A and B are shown apart, each in its own frame.
Chain A
């Protein structure tokens, strides 16, 4: 079995399985809804509070809108994530791969121009956010090794993906796949888990805010 066959066959299966198992495992441990003591009597609607927190936190709230850091992080963050989602779910090779290996997708892949624009927006956001991890003294202070590894790994996955864009070389495709697999294995044990946990975190906090009838 050649290396490329290994990467695209058993290794892919292995890493994807690991990813699914541990992501589920972690989500189950969060969604453990057993009661812990009697909740204090609510003062407002918990559900409304939860929904509010879920939606309102998509944009910065006043008075924090006066902070440049808030806007920078928000705009760069959206650029990176939205671009990434387009790349991940609508790039031609990805759509082909997903349809061949996992399930049919209800949408058409985007054009090359669309892909390039999405990739550029995404890279711009990622590079500027990643740079800030080094040059902003306060972010540098709170960064964990995990944050650097997660950012760098994501960057490398995207970079190798773009390098394989010509679809001329099995080596480049294998390189990309290899890093994707590494990324998948790393994912559940790292802050990449925020992909799945952010709505839960917001809902949990919003639920408590709703109970207290405060606008968090």
Chain B
């Protein structure tokens, strides 16, 4: 069954007879039929068994046939008969009672208990001052609800105000990121890509080790994933629901939440690796001040910098420190029952949301500068090598130091 290429016109000098013995086609005469028959037989068997099972197996979640019946619900009024499934229960509700059943039970006065034993469990969401407000304000319950964008976050209902889709962080955060994006776009239009002074020299020198690049791009993937899912969760209500409706948003939101929860710890591990691999060169130095005074070269002119400039150092420390805050608060939010008290959770939700906005804003700037914003930067992080003139433009002091110590490693590829 080996298929030989067909060459138009016979080979004039095809090997006439070789001393070589052909190792023979892969599937011999007897193997083809046997193989085909065996495979087809298997396929038929599988089809039969699978289709037999799919015909009567409904698509929705349902216990396997023959499994023990689901235990009856604990909240059950006397005299209400247990009804078998005869209606479309919402997905993911494993019970065998409909909503109307449950409400009927409640109306008939069934007693319920809560499984949460702590003292403030009985408290409603509202009613606690933020921890940074010392004196209670007397007008707490008398002031009219905030109508403006910035509501009064010192009130006892601060948390729910912060979470408010119309006036709280979701909307403010959305505007904030919008403004950052607008600034970046404006800068891109005005300044364009920052060129390499003197053009590319063609001599490429090593800037990032393989381990740094692997960690960088791994964290990039996870970070963007976390940002997208996190922003969906935080900004979705004011910005996405009006666009796509609640039904679609609920699907995206549950997907985002699951992904966000799952990738969070992955990001924490990667942040630790990031810290370890990128720490050298990220300590503040006097050169940073000069760089800052010269505007980082963003508005023309040359701003000398060491291995990393102040902007990059800022990004490194922002990512590390706010990353740590996001990691810690995130873990608290992942295990609310075990790790969180109500107050801690409220603060965590706030810090997580606010911190994320800062990192995402910085991330947008980083992505812009790393790709379109400066010539020759992107390949540096992909190949680990940068052009010598790129290094002179953006990290002159680093290049000089390498030259002085004879540590320049040239890339040959």
Contacts and interface: CB of A to CB of B under 8 A. Distances in A.
Contacts of B75: none
Contacts of B38: 24, 28
B409 to A, nearest CB: 14
B377 to A, nearest CB: 15
Interface in B110-143: none
Contacts of A120: 262-263, 265-266, 269
B374 interface: no
A127 B258 contact: no
Contacts of A8: 54, 59
A25 interface: yes
B92 A168 contact: yes
Contact of B28 (A17, A24, A34, A166): A34
B259 A162 contact: yes
Interface stretch (B18-26, B288-296, B354-362, B391-399): B18-26
B258 A131 contact: no
Nearest to B40: A21
Contact of A127 (B53, B222, B256, B413): B222
A163 B253 CA distance: 10
A32 B254 contact: no
A5 B59 contact: yes
B59 A162 contact: no
Interface of A: 4-5, 8-9, 12-13, 16-17, 20-22, 24-25, 28-29, 32, 34, 36-37, 68-69, 72, 96, 99-101, 116, 119-120, 123-124, 127-128, 131-132, 134-137, 159, 162-172
B343 interface: no
Nearest to A13: B50
8 contacts: A21-B42, A22-B39, A24-B35, A29-B27, A120-B263, A123-B263, A135-B214, A166-B254
A24 B258 contact: no
A162 B250 CA distance: 16
Contact of B259 (A72, A159, A167): A159
B91 interface: yes
The B interface is mostly helix, strand or loop, or mixed, namely helix
A55 B91 CA distance: 47
Contacts of A28: 27, 31, 34-35, 38
B50 A135 contact: no
Contact of A36 (B23, B43, B59, B91): B23
A76 B59 CA distance: 37
- Which secondary structure dominates chain A's binding surface? helix
Contact of A32 (B28, B43, B211): B28
B50 A128 contact: no
A4 B251 CA distance: 15
Contacts of A24: 35, 38-39, 42
A172 B259 CA distance: 12
Contacts of A172: 251, 254-255
A137 B204 CA distance: 14
B262 A170 contact: no
Nearest to B269: A124
A101 B384 contact: no
A138 to B, nearest CB: 10
Nearest to A121: B266
A60 B392 CA distance: 42
Given A137-B384, A164-B258, 19 more contacts: A13-B51, A20-B42, A20-B46, A21-B40, A24-B35, A24-B39, A28-B34, A32-B31, A36-B21, A36-B24, A116-B265, A127-B222, A127-B266, A128-B214, A131-B217, A137-B383, A166-B92, A166-B257, A169-B251
B46 A162 contact: no
B214 A131 contact: yes
Nearest to B39: A21
Given A17-B43, A135-B382, A163-B258, A96 B221 contact: no
A166 B251 CA distance: 10
Contacts of A29: 26-27, 31, 35
